[in-house]
Structure formats: structure tokens, C-alpha cells
Amino acid sequence: MTTLSQLYKQKEKNGTGTTVKKTFMVPISELYLEEGSNIRPVDQEHAEYMRDCWIDGSDLPPLSVEVTEKGIKVIDGQHRFIGAKMAIDLGHDIPRIECKDFVGTELDKLAHMAKSSQGKPITPLQRAGAYNRAKRQGHSPAEIAKAFGRSVADVELHLQLLSSGDVLIGMVESGEVAATTAVALSREHGPKAGSVAAEGLARAKAEGKSRLTKSAAMPQFSAKKARRLVELLVDALYVNEEVIESLVLASGTADEIQRILAEYRAGIPTNGEEAA
């Protein structure tokens, strides 16, 4: 069986476009993690999973590293690195770990960490934290969006999430409220958004639900009734008599108009559909 190495060595003969990107086998004692540098906190369960992968001899990707005055800093692959040390503590021999150079700016580092999940997807709050770190470095939302491969709207939404208050942030972190819902509530209710969300979540749980949806948190008035109100008002006559402005309603429409307006003032939650 021909290997890639053999294919590459014969490239002048076979015309392959294969190229080589070097990795290095680095002694684990020369590697280190810088506390707080990774956008993800260490997840013990995931580290243990990586430990088991090392013990089982699984084929794991190389760590992305940067050579510093302190040693060789792990940029991406903290759970693989911690898992290897845990496997060593259990008596397994792992003298070296495959590593590759990380080349890029500080913004590139943040984007790389966000894109490289290794089975541990980034959470909305971790993404927001990464965007915020990039913002503090002086990057614009457009620059951040380009580096992370996301939209400017996504960057702005996650940055706003960090200003939505401790209650909503806690709900997002626990998975009880979506990030988009938290931001929408914050925009709508300002400082009261947390208490509004808490009340809505309590109602949702009383109904046997585990999370607060946007439709439940921010119920919309019936679109059908809103259209009906327009139909009833289209033939109304506008009258401007000096200091008094008024609408003269078409005959037979007043009672229905009053009912619709009363329902709107009462905030009847029909979630955009006609109530049964």
C-alpha cells in the first residue's frame, strides 16, 4: 500500500499536488496552559473523555501551540492536553504530543478557538466572551465577523447579550432561555427584563416546559385581529376642528373596534394567531 509520504516523494514522477505541513512531537513537560487564555473553561467530563481517548490509542488531532519565553503554550487543544496528563497520572506512557505551530494574530487565535470544537461546541456566552475580547483588542464588529466566519448581526447580538443582566445571562447559561430571546427581552423591558423572564419561566415550568420560548416571553397580538381593525378603520373619516382631532367611524363598526382595542390594552397573549 502506498503511503502519502511515498506519494509525495515521487511527486516529480506522478504529478501530485500534495504538499507537506509539518507537525512536531513535543515533550509534554515542555507544554503549558495559560489560565484564562482559552475561551472555553475546562470541562472535567470532556477532559476525562479525552483521557480515555489517549488510553485507547485514538487518533487525535495535533495541538495548536505558540512558542513563548515560558515554554510552548497550548493555543487550542486544552482538553486533549489535560486528558493526556490525566492518562499519565494513571500510569500510561505519553512522552510526547503531536503539535503544530499556530500562525496568526490575537484575533485569529480567538476565532480559531471558537471554530475548533473537538466535540465540545462553543456556548452562546463563550462566543459572546470571545467577541468581547476581540472588541477590547480594538476590532470592529465587521472585522470580528470576518475572522470568526459569522455575520455582523451575530457579533452585535452576542455582544448585547453580555449587557442583558445577570438573571438573563444565567438563564442563557443554563439553557432555559435562548440568547436571541434574552436580547429581545432586554431591548423590550430594559432593567425589568430579568424579572419578566423569571416570571415567564415560572409559568412555562408550571405548564411542564423546561425553557422559556420567545413566543411565550413576548406574546404578540393576534395578526388577524390587527388586520380586522385596519379593515374597520379604513372607511373612518378624519375630522380636524381647530383643537380637536377625531375619527368618525363608519356605521356599525364602533362596538367591534372597541372590543379589539380593549383586548390590545389588556395584552391578551394570542401569539400572533386568532384565539379559539
Residues 175, 248 share a domain: no
Residues 26, 69 share a domain: yes
- Going by pLDDT thresholds of 50, 70 and 90, the confidence category of residue 112 is confident
21 pLDDT higher than 90: no
Is 14 a member of any domain? no
The region that residue 12 occupies, defined by phi over 0 for left and psi between -120 and 50 for alpha, beta otherwise, is: alpha
9 pLDDT higher than 90: no
Q: Return the bridge partners of 26, or none.
A: 97
- Going by pLDDT thresholds of 50, 70 and 90, the confidence category of residue 233 is confident
Q: Are 25 and 71 in contact (CB under 8 A)?
A: no
37 pLDDT higher than 70: yes
66: which residues sit within 8 A by CB, 6+ positions away? Answer: 72, 73, 75, 101, 102
Phi, psi of 2 (to 5 degrees): -80, 135
Per-residue pLDDT, 153: 94
pLDDT above 70 as % of the chain: 94
Domain count, the chain: 3
Q: How confident is the prediction for the chain on average, in pLDDT?
A: 87
Per-residue pLDDT, 269: 52
Is 82 a member of any domain? yes
Residues 240, 189 share a domain: no
HEC readout, 137-196: CCCCHHHHHHHHCCCHHHHHHHHHHCCCCHHHHHHHHHCCECHHHHHHHHHHHHHHHHHH
Among the residues of the chain, which ranges form H helices? 4-9, 11-14, 44-56, 78-89, 106-115, 124-136, 141-148, 152-161, 166-174, 179-189, 193-206, 214-217, 223-233, 254-266
Domain stop point among 103, 119, 142 = 103
Residues 249, 211 share a domain: no
275 pLDDT higher than 60: no
Q: What is the CATH number of the domain that holds 44?
A: 3.90.1530.10
pTM: 0.69
Per-residue pLDDT, 157: 94
Stretch 182-191: mean pLDDT: 89
Residues 240, 182 share a domain: no
Q: Give the length of the chain.
A: 276
Is 154 a member of any domain? no
Owner of C-alpha cell 436571541: 180
Stretch 215-236: mean pLDDT: 80
Residues 197, 245 share a domain: no
**What are the pLDDT digits (tens) for 126-140?**
999 999 999 999 999
Least confident of 81-90, 149-158, 234-243, 266-275: 266-275
Residues 84, 35 share a domain: yes
Stretch 70-95: mean pLDDT: 94
- Going by pLDDT thresholds of 50, 70 and 90, the confidence category of residue 39 is confident
Is 145 a member of any domain? no
Residues 239, 201 share a domain: no
Domain stop point among 217, 238, 258 = 217
User: In whole angstroms, how far apart are CA 197 and each of 51, 80, 173?
Assistant: 40, 38, 14
Q: Are 65 and 56 in contact (CB under 8 A)?
A: no
**What are the pLDDT digits (tens) for 60-72?**
999 999 999 999 9
Query: Which one-letter amino acid corresponds to residue 122?
Result: I
Rounded (10°) angle between helices 141-148 and 124-136: 130
Is 128 a member of any domain? no
Residues 65, 85 share a domain: yes
Is 176 a member of any domain? yes
Is 88 a member of any domain? yes
Residues 255, 181 share a domain: no
Structural domain containing residue 176: 163-217
Is 97 a member of any domain? yes
10 pLDDT higher than 90: no
